[in-house]
């Protein structure tokens, strides 16, 4: 754990997990035919033409952008929510563009006044930034998928993530509805990280803002969306949060004081990219093919694939310590993420990203065949 001094108060942040993977990366890079890096979910395919053309057209932007964002950007988000996710009834005051959703996730508890003595709940297997956000606010974090395990306490924030990073699990409507009702009964803010919602394979994900889940009201609910995965825009840092206008308003008030603004050209890009579905379908087909290649190769090499209905990862296991699996694959020049990065429940799994190029995925499959 690393100490961080904030206002004279010592707080503890988790170590950055990927630092522990460096030696395994070095081992994989020593392979005669080079490394196949499947450890992170960064896009490698070209940024779509619609984004690049939009960015070029908006490049002349001498003034400051506004924190609240362009009306056109917020309307594009609302139109996308309606068209792709069946979410209607939200107004412009229910949407806020953000500079990458990781920043929002890490800062959200702090920006909403969560502090010492408060509880933040996140999934048992989870993206580490949920825990980081709780730590920055000085709050306690509880990793659990069971509402019963929370007991009588009333959390300030409860995070969901469907499709999940790392497992790819997609939560059904009935479960989402139950969590919404539970949170509303306790005055807990429910925040759903839905950045992989357009990357689903074996089940259909549903937003917490869908009327079948929310009852047609965004009260007490936020949904977080990113363009990084769907549109290969990780380098543009484009995302938005939508939901309860009262909570969005609180975030806006704080973020204006902090000067947290999505650059104007990126806001213009969002308008055009959110309106275009063709590039998303093209990218989905690339990922679908790579996923099938890797899944077949992993299963042929003795791995079992659990969950993995959505997201950009396969949640794989040989029923051994995850670090042993990481080491064995690194010997083949393949780098994957140990499940332990995401919580103790991942101790026997590895997360295998299929965001590498077609050539590298094919090379991984060839090397996995040697483990058969």
DSSP assignment, residue 338? E
Which backbone phi and psi does 317 adopt, to 5 degrees? -150, 150
Question: Is the pLDDT score of 6 beyond 70?
Answer: no
Kindly state the tokens that stand for 213: 């889940």
What is the DSSP pairing of strand 2-6 with strand 36-37? unpaired
Mean pLDDT value across the chain:
95
CA distance readout (Å), 357 to 54, 63, 278: 25, 38, 20
Confidence of residue 209 (pLDDT cuts 50, 70, 90): very high
Once rounded to an integer, what is the mean pLDDT over residues 215-229?
Answer: 97
* pLDDT one-digit tens code per residue, 324-333: 999 999 999 9
Tell me the two tokens of residue 312: 């950009």
22: number of Cβ within 10 Å: 9
Instruction: HSE, CB side, 13 Å, CA atoms: give it for residue 264.
Output: 10
Residue 246, pLDDT > 60, answer yes
Would you say residue 7 has pLDDT above 70? no
For β-strands 221-226 and 189-193, DSSP reports them as parallel
Q: How far is CA 260 from CA 99, 103, 185, 365, in A?
A: 8, 10, 32, 43
- Please report the pLDDT score of residue 2 as a whole number: 46
**Do residues 251 and 112 lie in contact, with contact meaning Cβ atoms separated by under 8 Å?**
yes
**How many CB atoms lie under 10 A from the CB of residue 128?**
19
List, for residues 34-84, the tens digit of each pLDDT value.
999 999 999 999 999 999 999 999 999 999 999 999 999 999 999 999 999
pLDDT at 371: 85
What's the CATH class of domain 2-46+279-369? alpha beta
Angle between helices 322-331 and 22-29 (to 10 degrees): 20
**Do the beta carbons of residue 61 and residue 264 sit within 8 Å?**
yes
For residues 349 and 316, is the Cβ–Cβ distance under 8 A? yes
The percentage of residues in the chain with a pLDDT greater than 70, rounded to a whole number, is: 96
Q: How much is the average pLDDT of 115-122? A: 97
DSSP sequence for 100-155: -HHHHHHHHHHHTT--TT-EEEE-SS--THHHHHHHHTT-EEEE-S-HHHHTT---
Tokens 């099938």 belong to which residue? 292
Pairwise CA distance, residues 279 & 69, whole Å? 24
Pairing of strands 9-13, 119-122: unpaired
CB 168 within 8 A of CB 205: no
Q: What percent of the chain has pLDDT over 90?
A: 93
Q: pLDDT-derived band of residue 1, with 50, 70 and 90 as boundaries?
A: very low
Structure token pair of residue 228: 């990084």
Among the listed ranges 13-27, 55-69, 289-303, 322-336, which one has the minimum average pLDDT value? 13-27
pLDDT recorded at residue 306: 98
Of the candidates 234, 223, 224, 205, the one whose C-alpha atom is nearest the C-alpha of residue 311 is 205
Residue 204 DSSP code: -
Residue whose pair of structure tokens reads 């460096």 in the numeric block: 22
Out of 3.40.50.300, 3.40.190.10, 3.40.640.10, 3.30.110.40, select the CATH number for domain 62-275.
3.40.640.10
pLDDT given for residue 180 in this prediction: 98
- Domain parsing of the chain, residue ranges: 2-46+279-369, 62-275
* CA-to-CA separations, 222 to 89, 209, 233, 350, in angstroms, rounded: 14, 8, 22, 30
Contact 21, 323 (CB under 8 A): no
Tokens of 187: 């005055």
Q: Are 247 and 222 in contact (CB under 8 A)?
A: yes
Angle (nearest 5°) at CA 76 between 73 and 77: 90
Q: How far apart are the C-alpha atoms of 210 and 85, rounded to whole Å? A: 7
Whose tokens are 């108060």? That residue is 9
């Amino acid at each position: 754990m690393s100490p961080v001094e904030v206002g004279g108060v010592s707080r503890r942040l988790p170590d950055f997990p990927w630092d522990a993977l460096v030696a395994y990366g070095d081992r994989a890079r020593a392979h005669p035919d080079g490394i196949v890096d499947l450890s992170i979910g960064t896009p490698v395919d070209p940024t779509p033409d619609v984004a690049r053309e939009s960015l070029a057209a908006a490049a002349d932007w001498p003034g400051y952008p506004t924190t609240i964002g362009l009306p056109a950007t917020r309307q594009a988000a609302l139109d996308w929510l309606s068209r792709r996710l069946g979410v209607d009834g939200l107004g412009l005051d229910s949407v806020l563009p953000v500079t990458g959703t990781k920043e929002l996730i890490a800062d959200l508890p702090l920006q909403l006044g969560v502090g010492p003595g408060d509880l933040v709940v996140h999934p048992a297997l989870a993206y580490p930034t949920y825990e980081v956000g709780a730590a920055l606010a000085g709050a306690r974090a509880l990793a659990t998928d069971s509402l019963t395990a929370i007991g009588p306490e009333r959390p300030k924030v409860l995070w969901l993530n469907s499709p999940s990073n790392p497992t790819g699990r997609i939560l059904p409507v009935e479960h989402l509805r139950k969590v919404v009702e539970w949170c509303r009964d306790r005055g807990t803010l429910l925040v759903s990280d839905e950045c992989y919602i357009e990357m689903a394979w074996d089940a259909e994900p549903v937003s917490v803002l869908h009327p079948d889940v929310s009852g047609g009201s965004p009260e007490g609910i936020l949904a977080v969306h990113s363009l990084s995965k769907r549109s290969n825009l990780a380098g543009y840092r484009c995302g938005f949060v939508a939901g309860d206008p009262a909570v969005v308003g609180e975030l806006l008030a704080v973020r204006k004081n902090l000067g947290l603004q999505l650059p104007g050209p990126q806001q213009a890009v969002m308008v055009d990219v959110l309106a275009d579905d063709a590039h998303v379908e093209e990218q989905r087909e690339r990922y679908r093919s790579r996923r099938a290649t890797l899944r077949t190769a992993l299963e042929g090499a003795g791995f079992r694939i659990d969950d993995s209905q959505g997201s950009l990862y396969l949640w794989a296991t040989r029923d051994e310590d995850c670090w042993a699996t990481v080491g064995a694959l690194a010997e083949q020049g393949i780098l994957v993420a140990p499940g332990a990065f995401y919580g103790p429940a991942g101790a026997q799994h590895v997360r295998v990203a299929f965001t590498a190029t077609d050539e590298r995925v094919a090379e991984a499959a060839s090397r996995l065949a040697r483990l058969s």
